[in-house]
Amino acid sequence: MHARRVRRAGCRKNPLALGFHGWLSYCVDMTFKVEIEREEDGRWIAEVCELPGVLVYGDSLEQARAKAQALALRVLADRLENGEATPFESVLFAAA
């Protein structure tokens, strides 16, 4: 199973050329695409392309999706705590 790679997160507003941190600060509602593929060894790999480093393995598609969402939320929380992003209203995850 191969998913299409999507490199932009959805945002109700459409800022141009703000860079990642400027874009993250500009969004009120964020939607991230979770790309999930099955490896040859049977494991599932899930990636949130808009958040570098958010890449996880799971024994099932559902487990890989849940782990990717949990890690993405941890990354966003860390950025908020360190002043790298402004608070936002909601975060949505969609299959790629």
Per-position DSSP letters for 32-48, written without gaps between them: EEEEEEE-TTS-EEEEE
What's the pLDDT score for residue 59?
Answer: 97
- Rounded CA-CA distance 36/68 in Å is 9
Strands (E) across 1-96 are located at 10-11, 29-38, 44-48, 55-58, 90-95
DSSP 3: P
Q: Tell me the domains of the chain and their CATH numbers.
A: 10-95 (3.30.2390.10)
What's the rounded Cα separation, in Å, for the pair 72 and 5? 17
Which residues, given as ranges, of the chain have pLDDT below 50? 1-18
pLDDT at 95: 78
In this predicted structure, what is the pLDDT of residue 60? 97
Instruction: Tell me what pLDDT residue 34 has.
Output: 94
Give the pLDDT score at 94: 81
Q: What is the pTM (predicted TM-score) of this model?
A: 0.66
